[in-house]
Amino acid sequence: MFKSALKISRTATVSRSLLTAQSKRAYALTPQSQALISKSVKEIDPEMYQILQSEKQRQKNSITLIPSENFTSKAVMDLLGSEMQNKYSEGYPGERYYGGNQFIDQAESLCQKRALEAFNLNPEEWGVNVQSLSGAPANLYTYSAILNVGDRIMGLDLPHGGHLSHDRFD
């Protein structure tokens, strides 16, 4: 009885998977879904596009003294909005948890190479992590690289230019 129930369960799972895949494929072929994939924000959502344009103008016409909010280059914007953002890539080059990361690995390895070159570091002696996406991990990496347990550094209050990660680490 257990074997037949298992067989029915496997068949039902496979059937559901096939139906799900077929319905996803059918959805992907509809004109509406093609429009969502191929059209720009301006075409799909003019209201959101207008908000984006307003933010662009605000950034172009003001000076923000927060480093992470500086106006970035077109090249950086192109990369941040590229197909590379569609890929989940946990881990390090050559040691990813998920497959299909060969181009992510190439890009990250290139960034590592350039970082080492920028500081004239020998790759046989040094390694670099170029994955940090926010201030907190960046500060943590920096602190752990240069401080010993119990060391003190100066950190500013948030209203005075500090960062959330400028706190006491015990």
Q: Is residue 46 part of a domain?
A: no
Instruction: Assess if residue 70 is contained within a domain.
Output: no
In a domain, 41, yes or no: no
Q: Does some domain include residue 146?
A: yes
Q: Are 152 and 169 in a shared domain?
A: yes
Do both 6 and 19 map to the same domain?
yes
Do residues 109 and 90 share a domain? yes
Q: Which residue has the higher pLDDT, 131 or 6?
A: 131
**Domain ranges, residue 23:** 1-28
* Residue 111, number of CB atoms within 10 A of its CB: 15
pLDDT bin (cut points 50, 70, 90) of residue 63 is confident
pLDDT one-digit tens code per residue, 77-96: 898 889 988 888 888 899 98
Q: Cβ contacts of residue 72 below 8 Å, gap of 6+?
A: 80
pTM: 0.56
Place of tokens 């799909």: 44
- Pair (95, 126) in one structural domain: yes
Query: Which residue stretches of the chain are H helix?
Result: 2-28, 31-38, 41-44, 46-60, 74-80, 102-118, 135-146
How many other CB atoms are there within 10 angstroms of residue 4's CB atom? 8
Residues 119-124 have a mean pLDDT of 96
Q: Quick one: 126 and 151 in the same domain?
A: no
Q: Do 108 and 145 belong to one domain?
A: no
Q: Supply 154's token pair.
A: 């100066």
Are 93 and 127 within one domain? yes
Question: Would you tell me how many other CB atoms lie within 10 Å of the CB of residue 147?
Answer: 12
Based on the domain organization, do 110 and 144 belong to the same domain? no
Does some domain include residue 14? yes
144, part of any domain: yes
What is the number of structural domains in the chain?
3
